[in-house]
Structure 1
Amino acid sequence: MRLAILLSLALLASAQAADTPPHVAVSNIRRVFHNGEHNAFTDLCRFHDQVYLTFRSCPDGHMVNPTASVIILRSNDDGATWEQVHRFSVKDRDTRDPHFLIFRNRLLVYTGTWWSGPGTIEPKDYDMNKMLGYAVWSDDGKQWNSPVMLEGTFGHYIWRAASFGDKAFLCGRRKPGFDIAAKGEGEKVQSLMLESDDGLVWKKRAYFAETAGDETAFLFESNGSVLAVGRHGGGKNAQLFRSKPPYTDWERTDLGRSIGGPLIAKWGDRIIVGGRKTTPGKGATTSLCWLIDDALQEFADFPSGGDNSYPGFVALSPTRALVSYYSSHEKNADGKTITAIYMAELSLK
């Protein structure tokens, strides 16, 4: 009897320990890129044993401008130093929200583009129906192709991509029926899971948010089930989505807070969720959380403020990782606010 009790207590202690997230040390927070332009919307990946960082850069600021371009940097030493390997733009379009996908031994960078014409347009003239996805790719990280239009994405604003098996999947949001009306991001916007065999030609797999669709990140498990974190298009709490093949039925869970520019990634056996949070009295900052039992447990809140968030994450080892983000919490020598790219190192203790 005593042995059974001791065994039960040991099992209970083990279960409690498994549910207790490890301590994460955050170090070496630094600005890694600023060129005097508005730099934003980051992503990270590891390809051929090198780390890649991408983001949007625009001399005319955050809003829709044809002067925007996407920059891709590479690090041979786990993020200590960076070199630019590619920069691209699309004529008469604002390239923004770039994201990586490693698919069929190829490194792709996707960007959702707003049509602007040859000059800057007013927000009242933004039209989701003129959105279009583009991609560049490389087989070695050195030589890059020119931007290619993604078939099947016209009228969709594309976001993060993921893959499972021989298929690639992409978040795309659009107006119901491509409605011809005033600028319509918000409650009416739909979010779709788009599917591709080659990463370039896309078709609808399923709706996962038929209202209030917004930026959504996918994470596939080994059995093909998918976990996703989606921003709420109406400004309410973010949602956790779950589905299994063929991805036609989705479960939804309220995450209890808004998340701007959401990230979901695995670090070992644990799941990380990141993005922008807003705290009364403090404003908007970029943070990372463990996802445990469908709830968020924050472990890092990075120096950030104002226009910020859209983190990228890459695991360097089971105990070391990098996170990128952008922020406008610093000023230059003239006292003017800058919007730059930042990096931090994470280690498990």
Structure 2
Amino acid sequence: MWLWGVVCLTASLTTTGAAQSNVELVEVRKIWDRAPHNAFTDLLRFKDKWFCVFREGMAHVSPDGALRVIASEDGKTWTSAALLIHSQADLRDAKITVTPDNRLMLSGAGALHPPAEFKHQSLAWFSKEGREWTAPVRIGDPNMWLWRVTWHNGTAYGIGYDTAGEKFIRLYTSKDGRRFDALVPNLFDQGQPNETSIIFQPDDTALCLLRCDGNPGTGKLGSARPPYSSWRWKDLGVK
């Protein structure tokens, strides 16, 4: 039997020129292997602790997925803080962030067990310290896999990708992390777009790295200025 574990990678970055940098891997450490399959991680620092979240299950694709939260003060010794389960769904792709009112917000997607009205529903949980979590809250529309939530200037931004066959992504915003409204209903619809990550620059420019799985299946970089309703996209030429 294969046993998949969560590992922590430490790297150092050395700049050798204006357009070139070398990354040196200095340490690899396994931090968790309690389930047969442990994968799809996210990591942040909150109240002097590291929090790592990920999916646990019997396999990469299995109906029993749960979201594990582990914590560490030094990055070396890790303990379980919580295990979030859902009786009606395989929980996948845990992401964690901090809300403006200084709470942890954990989000993920539920692959609903049949029979169900739809295939997927994105969910969110909230915690003040990482151990006690609220009941799940539905975020975004059904069959829109909301990949990651990023807060900027008191507003949450997240991009969901369609899982019902139409193959497009949608930009959502929220003021409370619970109700997400579509800011751009169809943000991009070429090349089977799906997973995303948004960052905001000091001048409030938003940058979005987008994965595409179609032909040619190369990544895209999107950029937008406030109010983030109009985006420009560049093909990165790499997958």
TM-score range, shorter chain: 0.7 to 0.9
Partner of 2:103 in structure 1? 106
Pairwise CA distance, 1:54: 0.5
Q: Is the 8 A contact 1:93 1:115 kept in 2?
A: yes
- Distance between the aligned counterparts of 2:62 and 2:238, measured in 1? 27
Partner of 1:245 in structure 2? 226
Asked if 1:156 is matched to 2:153, the reply is no
- Distance between the aligned counterparts of 1:116 and 1:245, measured in 2? 39
Alignment of 1:1-349 (within 5 A): 19-59=18-58, 61-65=59-63, 67-77=64-74, 79-104=75-100, 105-117=102-114, 129-150=118-139, 152-174=140-162, 184=165, 188-206=166-184, 207-211=186-190, 212-234=192-214, 236-258=217-239
Pairwise CA distance, 1:24: 3.1
With normalisation by structure 1, the TM-score equals: 0.59
- Distance between the aligned counterparts of 2:16 and 2:41, measured in 1? 34
Q: Structure 2 unaligned runs (5+)?
A: 1-14
Q: 1:26 to 1:17 in 2, by over 3 A?
A: closer
Pairwise CA distance, 1:194: 0.7
- Distance between the aligned counterparts of 1:163 and 1:26, measured in 2? 30
The structure having more radius of gyration, on CA atoms, is 1
- Distance between the aligned counterparts of 1:22 and 1:140, measured in 2? 37
- Distance between the aligned counterparts of 2:35 and 2:154, measured in 1? 41
What is the one-letter code of the residue matched to 2:127? S
Structure having the larger proportion of residues in strand:
2
Pairwise CA distance, 1:130: 2.9
Q: Structure 1 unaligned runs (5+)?
A: 1-15, 119-125, 176-182, 259-349
Pairwise CA distance, 1:71: 0.2
Q: Is the 8 A contact 1:64 1:114 kept in 2?
A: no
Q: Is the 8 A contact 1:64 1:116 kept in 2?
A: no
Pairwise CA distance, 1:153: 2.7
- Distance between the aligned counterparts of 1:36 and 1:86, measured in 2? 14
Q: Is the 8 A contact 1:163 1:220 kept in 2?
A: no
Q: Is the 8 A contact 1:39 1:56 kept in 2?
A: yes
Structure having the larger proportion of residues in helix:
1
Q: 1:99 to 1:36 in 2, by over 3 A?
A: closer
- Distance between the aligned counterparts of 2:35 and 2:127, measured in 1? 28
Higher RCO (C-alpha under 8 Å, 6+ residues apart): 1
Task: Write out per-residue CA displacement over residues 292-344 of structure 1, whole angstroms, 9 at most, x where no aligned residue.
Answer: xxxxxxxxxxxxxxxxxxxxxxxxxxxxxxxxxxxxxxxxxxxxxxxxxxxxx
Q: 1:210 to 1:76 in 2, by over 3 A?
A: same
What is the one-letter code of the residue matched to 2:48? D
- Distance between the aligned counterparts of 2:132 and 2:224, measured in 1? 37
- Percent identical among aligned pairs is 26
